[in-house]
């Protein structure tokens, strides 16, 4: 976690230095506020990672004496192929297109989208990949 903390802390310092320079050069309030908010968000993430890294045991990649074999083992569950993100994306496209064409298409897209989202959420509770 320490390397991730340093990456976000360096990004925070960069955005803190760039935001006033951007304001002095362009006097654009929109871009300056976006840079300030980005600096605050990277500060938030770096603070979270710092606090979390203090409370947990160091990972093998964070230790100076860590070996490659220390990180061996199961890393987690990685799902196989899935068709549900395609249907979720198509129904979202239908909803966005429904704003242009007619609100009736938004309602149809929302109903189909809720079915697709339920399928995506409960995909691994039944069938071949249930666990």
For 35-63, give the secondary structure using H, E and C.
HHHHHHHHHHHHHHHHHHHHHCCCCHHHC
59: confidence class by pLDDT, cuts 50, 70, 90: confident
- Alpha-carbon distances of 120 from 90, 91, 93, 113, rounded to whole Å: 13, 13, 17, 10
Neighbour count for residue 25 (Cβ, 10 Å): 8
Which two structure tokens, joined as six digits, stand for 57? 């045991």
Question: 29-55 vs 2-26: helix axis angle to the nearest 10?
Answer: 170
Length of the chain: 131
pLDDT of residue 129 exceeding 70: no
Which two structure tokens, joined as six digits, stand for 130? 């249930």
pTM of the model: 0.56
Q: pLDDT per residue over 88-110, tens digit each?
A: 999 999 999 999 999 999 999 99
């Amino acid at each position: 976690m320490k390397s991730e903390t340093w990456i976000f802390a360096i990004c925070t310092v960069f955005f803190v230095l760039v935001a006033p320079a951007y304001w002095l050069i362009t006097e654009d309030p929109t871009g300056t506020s976006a840079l300030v908010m980005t600096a605050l968000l990277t500060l938030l993430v770096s603070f979270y990672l710092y606090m979390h890294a203090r409370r947990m045991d160091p990972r093998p990649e964070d230790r100076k004496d860590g070996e490659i074999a220390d990180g061996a083992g199961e890393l987690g569950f990685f799902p196989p192929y899935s068709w549900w993100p395609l249907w979720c994306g198509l129904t979202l496209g239908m909803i966005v297109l429904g704003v242009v064409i007619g609100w009736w298409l938004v309602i149809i897209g929302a109903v189909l989208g809720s079915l697709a989202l339920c399928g995506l959420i409960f995909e691994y509770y039944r069938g071949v990949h249930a666990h």
